[in-house]
């Protein structure tokens, strides 16, 4: 499938591989997570207050529309987080797990 973003230059960078919702996604070193995900897909997550998918809005860390999650439930701002090889990303918030007491 075509991605939402198109690359216009800087395409000689080394490749890196990440996993998004269990699917392999190829990206480039220096990409933000957002660019990695939107160069091969069309959205980052589902809206909480509407039926539509979301793909970020400001790209400068101001709107928080681009949150995705790591496998262990950590929240990442996709527009300002660089990709790392082998990263596992979930586009929906993993179930909240509370630490066990005792």
Q: How far is the CB of 61 from ligand FES (least distance, A)?
A: 5
The two structure tokens encoding residue 68: 């995705």
Q: How far is the CB of 101 from ligand FES (least distance, A)?
A: 34
CB 88 within 8 A of CB 33: no
Distance CA 69, CA 45 (A): 10
Per rule CB under 8 A, is residue 73 in the interface with other proteins? no
Distance CA 37, CA 39 (A): 6
Q: How many other C-beta atoms can be found within 10 angstroms of the C-beta atom of residue 83?
A: 23
For the window 60-89, what string marks contact with ligand FES as x by the rule CB under 6 A? -xxxxxx----------x-x----------
CB 28 within 8 A of CB 95: no
Residues that bind other proteins (CB under 8 A): 2, 4-13, 29-32, 35, 39, 42-43, 47-65, 67, 74-75, 79-80, 82
Q: Which residues of the chain form contacts with ligand FES (CB under 6 A)?
A: 56-59, 61-66, 77, 79
């Amino acid at each position: 499938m075509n991605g939402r973003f198109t690359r216009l230059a800087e395409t000689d960078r080394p490749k890196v591989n990440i996993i998004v919702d269990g699917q392999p996604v190829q990206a480039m070193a220096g990409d933000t997570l957002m660019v990695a995900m939107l160069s091969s897909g069309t959205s980052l997550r589902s809206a909480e207050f509407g039926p539509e998918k979301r793909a970020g809005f400001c790209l400068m860390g101001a709107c928080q529309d681009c949150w995705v999650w790591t496998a262990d439930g950590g929240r990442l701002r996709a527009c300002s987080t660089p990709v790392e090889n082998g990263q596992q990303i979930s586009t929906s918030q993993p179930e909240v797990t509370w630490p066990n007491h005792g």
